[in-house]
Each structure stands twice: as C-alpha cells, then as structure tokens.
Amino acid sequence: MKLEIFLIVFIRHVFAEDNFTINFIDSFIRNEGKPTILIYTGLCWGKYEEVKLAKVLSRSGIRCSSSTHRSSPIQDQHILFLTDLDCPGADDVLNDAMSTNLFQFPFRWLILTSVGADITNSTLWYSPILTDSDLVLAARSGDYITMTELHKPSMNHSMQSAPRGFHNGTFSDTRPHRELYRRRKDLMGTPIIMSNVIQDSNDSKEHIENESRLDLHNDAVVKGCWMVAKHSYEMLNATRRHIYSYRWGYKVNGQWSGMIADIKNNKATFATNCVTFPERLEVITYTDMVAPMRMRFVFRQPPLAYTCNIYSLPFSASVWVTIVGCSVAAVLALFFTSTWEVIMEKNPTQLDGTISDALLLTLSAVAQQGCFIEPRRAPGRIIEWFFFAALMALYAAYSANIVVLLQAPSNSIRTLAQLAASKITLGAADV
C-alpha cells in the first residue's frame, strides 16, 4: 500500500514536472517568433511525454519530429534541436552533432539540464560551439528554469556564457539584442586570417602589415580592402593575420587556384574584394563592393592614317567635284579662245585651236607644272592666270590639311564592335 502511494505520488510529480518543461519549450519557441521544426533526440521521457510535447507544440503550429534525417538543406534555418543532458543518450547526440557540424549556423539548439549537474567536464563543454552557434542551456530547479547562452570565440577559448532569460511559469527573455550577430561582437582576440592578392610589388606585404601608406599605386585594391577590413577587425575585437597569394583564383580542371583556393581550403576566412563570377559563388560569398568597379578598355587611339584614306579627306566631295567641273570648264574656255587666236595669228608657241592642246594646258595646270604652249591673247591668258592661281591656292590648302591629318588621332573607335572590327591587335592578361 505504501509503495503504491509512493508510486502514484512519484508519477504525478514526474508528470507535473514534464508539463512545466513542455510548456517552457512551447514558450521558448513562440518567443523566438521564427518558423521552427523541433527535432528532439536522445530524450528519455517516455512515449507519453513525447506525444504530449508534440500535441502542445502542434497547438502552437510547430512541427516536431524525432528523426534527425534531413533530406535537403533548404529548411535548415528552421530546425531547433532539443536534447536533455540528464538522459543517457545525450552524449551520443552531442558527439553526432559534433561530427556532422550541427552546432554551426543556421541550426539552433535547446539543451535541457538540471541545476547542480556539473557540465564543465562534459562533452558539451568541449564541443565546437563557436561564434555562429545559437545554443541555449536551460537548467531547471523545481518550477524555475534559467536559460544561458553558450559559445566559444574560438576552439582555444574557454566557454563563454551569457544569461538569456528565465521561465517561472511566465517566460522572460533578457537578451540585450535579439539578433545573434549583435550579441557576438567580441571575438576576444581570436585570429582571423585575411587573404590578400599581391600582384604589383612584393613590398606591398610590408606596407599592409605596417599600414605605412607607402607606394599607394601598387596593389591599390588590396590596400583599400584592408582599410575597410581593419574596421571589422576592430569591431569584432579580432586579431589580424594575413596570408598572401599572387592570383585571384580561377577554376582550372576542377581545382581552384590563388585567393579563392585559400578560402576554400580554410586557410583564410575572408579576402580582398574580387570580380563577381557565377562560378566563384560556389565557393565564396561576396560582401558589398569596397570600391565601385567597372570594366574598361584603355587604349591609345590609332593615328588617322591607320583607319582611313587621308588623301581624300582634306576636301569634301563637293570640292573635288567642283575642281573637276572647273577643269572641264577651263578646257572648253581655252578651246574656244584658242580657235579664235588661230584666226588672228599663227605662232609655234600658241595653242593650235584643237581640244587636245587645251586639255594639255589644263592638265599641266592641274599638275602645277608649266607648259611651252600658251595663249597669246588676253582672254586666254586671263583664263590661264585664274586657273593657275585657283589651283595654287587649292594645293596650298591641300598640303596644309594633309600635314594636320597625318598627326591627328582617329576617334572612329567608339564601341566594342568597332574595336573588334578594327585592325588593332588586342592583348589581355588574366591573373
């Protein structure tokens, strides 16, 4: 009889306790205000309690499951793991989590324990619960649960704890900020490695380390990035470490090279800003641009003679047509005057009144040469004089223009298509 009463009291006590814990879990998840899938593992509560937990949570619209199998990582940010350190299976759960990196972002953890249990020598204490981990330890004593957040700035640091709130029937959240990143701003001197790309001069390494601001034209992007990164180091209270590579990094035969390989192989945490390629997105995440960046061609304009025929350029087409027209007019005029001159007199050095002599004199004027036959009378000489004088002026203008055009650059290349179609050879160095 005594034993029965004791059992009944014991069972009622255990049930009442679990009711309190279940309510706490429910309040905890609702307080987070995030879509949540609860995965409970390593609990030794018994089926009845687990069903009750699922019932209470489903009333709040929270899914829960006891299977840790995840088919895809799409919903990882919704997952909250729940385990109870007082249960014998807890160590296995923590070891599993350690080997499959479940403590890191974006998973969340709620770990139950009881006040007085020494956890400083437990598996939990040696787990890689790093800065991005969101892990809450809930210690229960009677009807009071104290919540503590645990994390380590690095594996070499001891576990840091911060109060998160308490539950005494009503849930109370005492976090200074709800955002995780605002609560994890002090890395306590943890070294963070930055990969820098040195291409212009190996002296840049020393200039970056010493921040001496010398030779700013060498490796300007790297130095600019460091000036920005430096503020992040100060904000995070982290220790700077640099490694250097000589290439940005491309994927060749499935292997990454240079700076991208440093990040991929965990030699560095972050690196100099580099051009966004879709392929690189598999390996790295881009921050905002440190400086505005655009693709540009820098090339010297080729001389004009290289791109077009400069012999026809000094005069416009209408001037060339007019010159031809005037020449024809001069031939005809000389022809008419010479036929008249032949009637007046005959002389060996005068035009003989045929069109061929008129043409000969005109062409010698076009070529700026003299000719042994010439008009003897005033009308023909006036024509000859004007024609020679006009052509001389045109020659002077033509020669002056050619000299200017020979030195002029061409501005005919204005678009990429024109550049591609031009006779210029292009070279590129991709490092």
Ligand X SMILES: *[C@@H]1O[C@H](CO)[C@@H](O)[C@H](O)[C@H]1NC(C)=O
What residues make contact with ligand X under the rule CB under 6 A? 15-16, 19, 23, 56, 121, 154-156, 168-170, 186, 188-189, 191, 201-202, 206, 210, 212, 237, 246
Q: Which CB, 8 or 420, lies closer to ligand X?
A: 8
CA dist 172 → 73, 135, 146, 169 (Å): 32, 17, 10, 9
Q: Which CB, 47 or 294, lies closer to ligand X?
A: 47
In whole angstroms, the minimum distance from the beta carbon of 78 to ligand X comes to 23
188 Cβ contact list (under 8 Å, min separation 6): 153, 157, 160, 237
In whole angstroms, the minimum distance from the beta carbon of 198 to ligand X comes to 7
Q: Which CB, 216 or 308, lies closer to ligand X?
A: 216
In whole angstroms, the minimum distance from the beta carbon of 154 to ligand X comes to 5
Q: What does the block give as tokens for 251?
A: 């994927």
CA 204 to CA 245: how far, in whole Å?
12
Backbone torsion region of residue 47, taken as left when φ is above 0, otherwise alpha when ψ lies between -120 and 50, otherwise beta: alpha
CA 196 to CA 227: how far, in whole Å?
12
Start-to-end CA distance of the chain, whole Å, equals 86
10 Cβ contact list (under 8 Å, min separation 6): none
In whole angstroms, the minimum distance from the beta carbon of 207 to ligand X comes to 7
Tell me the residue type at 168: N
Q: What does the block give as tokens for 234?
A: 């100060």
Q: Which CB, 246 or 320, lies closer to ligand X?
A: 246
In whole angstroms, the minimum distance from the beta carbon of 16 to ligand X comes to 5
Q: Which CB, 78 or 157, lies closer to ligand X?
A: 157
In whole angstroms, the minimum distance from the beta carbon of 423 to ligand X comes to 33
Would you list the DSSP string of 116-170? T---TTSTGGGS---TT-EEEEEEE-SS-EEEEEEE-SSTTSPPEEEEEEEESSS
CA 277 to CA 296: how far, in whole Å?
17
Q: Which CB, 156 or 318, lies closer to ligand X?
A: 156
In whole angstroms, the minimum distance from the beta carbon of 15 to ligand X comes to 6
In whole angstroms, the minimum distance from the beta carbon of 150 to ligand X comes to 17
CA-wise closest residue to 73 among 32, 101, 111: 101
Q: Which CB, 19 or 75, lies closer to ligand X?
A: 19
Q: Which CB, 15 or 398, lies closer to ligand X?
A: 15
CA 194 to CA 236: how far, in whole Å?
14
